[in-house]
Structure 1
């Protein structure tokens, strides 16, 4: 038996499909098809009444509407979507909504440095879990949700056997499937953040571990000093955060909505469940995990809006000074959103959204280069948002995907396209796996690159887009909403579907 036959092939993953609701006409959903049929009925009535001018106007309006909805670019954005974004951007600039000023002369309370935009109404509280560990809770009134953030320290895949990596991936899949059964969970996500390492951190760790002065060896100390001086060059800090967002809605009883959960009720219900949730996260290879306290969340958000504040916090830690912050002091002093970038304090950020997942099969290391640190960035943040589908709805959803795939195959019976055939195979396999007990979820992603204000923005954005291409991801800048996208990329549990002009449920059916 040859060596090639004895070696096991690497595992591959794939079959991601973008949810689509097809109408009778190609390129239209059920709602769009209904609108076109209504236009046709009105047109027939006008022709019967010989109202030729009105019929011509209705025909022209119907053709324009059909073109606006069905004409899409490579990212799946229709012409109507782009017009709505342009109008919204013009309106926000006209009302100065893209500009934020804090402090004494700012928009918020006198002396406060509140968070701008969609984070302005978010409130922060703190509770304790069953083991007495404090954890912060973010309440978003717009979404009626509570969010808990867990900080993890993944060790990476260097010097790790392939079998162990496959086991971690499998456990991550099991974890995501279990999240569909988590009571009240609306969505959850993972944020991977990389930034240049501060040399002061290594010096602090060495000074903390040093023994008494009289027991120090001269040669050993010279080696430690050389390490402190040379090792931080080019090193990076990699942090991972997991956030879980729970709905404050209790559901409905006999068709009547019940009262919302109050903060104390949520803390009493979720506190005993948090240690078990953290343990499940650790089994996926996330390393040591702990829920972030209110002070840790304040520090994280402050550093996100002003990267230079990180050095100040670390210097205070080195001097043994305890820095206490209030949630109303975590925002930027000044921020301004442009069409394709966002400037906040001394930094400039650009945020992309995921428009297409990798096609075909990929290996578990597909995101390695994309998530790797970049020397020309102050920080890079990649957030994956997962919305589990309830188990009682997965069967109907996969059956609908199979019907949609079959419909695309029948559009051209003589010679179906390769894309339609691939979608049919993927839908069939997904239905089989769901029947065997697998879970189902929708996901999206954001990527934010932050640079200093005097750095080259074009080179930084080009580097991020090239790395995304190596991961077979298609990214698109969030034009006209860079400030909201920046906030959504933070691990704070925000869902951009709740902040659109046209509800997502309606736009998907067009």
Structure 2
């Protein structure tokens, strides 16, 4: 290609959700139930036609909740199960949380609520001697370290450089599948109003006592006007490792996991520097506690910035949680703020450009604080090969059910075959999801925030739905805490996939 030729814009896509083996759109569990019911009906016909008819009606009634789906792919049975779980939660008072001196938390502390209530925080040092905070979740045996990144941004950046960043990001994600003990990762981009404290401290430190009156007046106007309407963007990457027992090895202790993670961090942070994430530095225990505290109570953001400028806040993990929360069916109230969380139900379809999520992660005037979290769960090389091969077989089976071929089925088969080829060439296979949390100062601002997210999601080529009955868990999962939601459910993931 000559220097005068323009390269075609690079596109991305082929995001696939593995399809289960089922008949005519039924799941595996529904298909097996259908076959068993049909056999029972045939056998009942040998006894009485009325008995067979009654069994057929009962089978239709049982299969209807498994067959009827909404536009997000959720069956009637799944929605009914969520309603039942929510009724049990509200009946037992599980949607309420009170901490502090007059609360129910132990020792008068402000522990985190919900899934992170039993979490603990430990600070250690990595191979470079940098301190890092490690969150431990005893229920799952997971240990999480959080990296703070100074993303460069794509403004005035050459398109070829952006493509290079995306390529390195793909390689970094692919390498997570071979990272020893790593089970999940997340990237959180949080936008919030800038309090102006940092600008004030910077000006105060660099202003000369004998500066001209004009310069001093101009700086005063800048200090008064610039923070208004400006936004602060924070990017954090959470890496979750498992300390559970392995074949031939016992369960690793917290100290062993701190040593293991400390030796892996230099390589992981060095790989992020090539992805456009800028300098990736592990967050200390105080920094992580401050970030979580501000997330649950945004009103203390300015106080935290002021304390950082004068020596630090000294917050501990027992002080990072809210003093009171109340979970509703479609929103979450924590201290003096209200939040709503949405979950992605459909990845971008077709080919997309590298800036497909730009509008979603950028600050929005209708949302005071917005948090967009990408959740990743990498497959190992062996698991990835098995998943893509099974997905290809299921796509072929679904395409062969119809005597007249459909274009959608042909596209599904082609995409599944392409995925198997890419995996065979050494590419990684990773599961991913997306959560969007909008936080506002009052309940009256929730409709405007919900309308903003509903407009931003189609622009990002994704489909989202409001998380009903699990707003507290979704809010915690969107924070860089290393919570792997499928492992905190009562029904195993394999059973839910089959149903």
Q: Write out per-residue CA displacement over residues 258-294 of structure 1, whole angstroms, 9 at most, x where no aligned residue.
A: 4211101111222122111111111111012210111
- Asked if residue 461 in structure 1 is aligned to residue 460 in structure 2, the reply is no
Gaps (5+ residues) in structure 2?
Answer: none
- Asked if residue 363 in structure 1 is aligned to residue 359 in structure 2, the reply is no
1: CA distance, partners of 2:311 / 2:458: 44
1:231 counterpart residue number: 226
- Asked if residue 138 in structure 1 is aligned to residue 124 in structure 2, the reply is no
CA drift of 1:71 comes to 1.1
2:294 counterpart residue number: 303
- Asked if residue 42 in structure 1 is aligned to residue 66 in structure 2, the reply is no
SS at the partner of 2:128? coil
1:508 counterpart residue number: 497
Task: Tell whether the 8 Å contact from 1:307 to 1:378 is kept in structure 2 after alignment.
Answer: no
Q: Write out per-residue CA displacement over residues 86-141 of structure 1, whole angstroms, 9 at most, x where no aligned residue.
A: 00011111111111111233221142112111111111111111122111111112
CA, structure 1 residues 259+116, in 2 after alignment: closer, same or farther (shift >3 Å)?
same
* Of 443-452 and 103-112, the range deviating more from structure 2: 103-112
Mapping for residues 406-421 of structure 1, pairs under 5 Å: 406-416=396-406, 418-421=407-410
- Asked if residue 482 in structure 1 is aligned to residue 480 in structure 2, the reply is no
CA, structure 1 residues 432+323, in 2 after alignment: closer, same or farther (shift >3 Å)?
same
1:375 counterpart residue number: 365
Task: Tell whether the 8 Å contact from 2:176 to 2:182 is kept in structure 1 after alignment.
Answer: yes
1: CA distance, partners of 2:421 / 2:412: 14
* Of 368-377 and 320-329, the range deviating more from structure 2: 320-329
2: CA distance, partners of 1:142 / 1:40: 42
* Of 150-159 and 425-434, the range deviating more from structure 2: 425-434
CA drift of 1:2 comes to 12
Task: Tell whether the 8 Å contact from 1:20 to 1:508 is kept in structure 2 after alignment.
Answer: no
1:103 counterpart residue number: 100
CA, structure 1 residues 479+361, in 2 after alignment: closer, same or farther (shift >3 Å)?
same
1:252 counterpart residue number: 247
1: CA distance, partners of 2:258 / 2:2: 59
CA drift of 1:50 comes to 4.1
SS at the partner of 1:280? helix
1:346 counterpart residue number: 336
* Of 224-233 and 287-296, the range deviating more from structure 2: 224-233
SS at the partner of 1:353? strand
Task: Tell whether the 8 Å contact from 2:150 to 2:279 is kept in structure 1 after alignment.
Answer: yes
SS at the partner of 2:498? coil
- Asked if residue 325 in structure 1 is aligned to residue 321 in structure 2, the reply is no
SS at the partner of 1:428? helix
CA drift of 1:454 comes to 5.4
Q: Write out per-residue CA displacement over residues 452-477 of structure 1, whole angstroms, 9 at most, x where no aligned residue.
A: 02542111110111011111110000
CA, structure 1 residues 268+421, in 2 after alignment: closer, same or farther (shift >3 Å)?
same
Gaps (5+ residues) in structure 1?
Answer: none
Q: Write out per-residue CA displacement over residues 131-164 of structure 1, whole angstroms, 9 at most, x where no aligned residue.
A: 2211111111222110110000102101111111
CA drift of 1:77 comes to 0.4
Task: Tell whether the 8 Å contact from 2:19 to 2:395 is kept in structure 1 after alignment.
Answer: no
2: CA distance, partners of 1:393 / 1:146: 22
Q: 2:57 aligns with which of 55, 60, 65?
A: 60
Task: Tell whether the 8 Å contact from 1:69 to 1:79 is kept in structure 2 after alignment.
Answer: yes
Q: Write out per-residue CA displacement over residues 11-45 of structure 1, whole angstroms, 9 at most, x where no aligned residue.
A: 0000111122122x222233332233233333444
Task: Tell whether the 8 Å contact from 1:136 to 1:148 is kept in structure 2 after alignment.
Answer: yes
1:391 counterpart residue number: 381
Task: Tell whether the 8 Å contact from 1:196 to 1:375 is kept in structure 2 after alignment.
Answer: no
2: CA distance, partners of 1:451 / 1:324: 27
SS at the partner of 2:338? strand
2: CA distance, partners of 1:84 / 1:199: 47
2:88 counterpart residue number: 91
Task: Tell whether the 8 Å contact from 2:189 to 2:371 is kept in structure 1 after alignment.
Answer: yes
2: CA distance, partners of 1:493 / 1:363: 29
SS at the partner of 1:457? helix
Q: Write out per-residue CA displacement over residues 186-231 of structure 1, whole angstroms, 9 at most, x where no aligned residue.
A: 0111001001111222111122233x424x3444333333322222
2: CA distance, partners of 1:365 / 1:155: 14
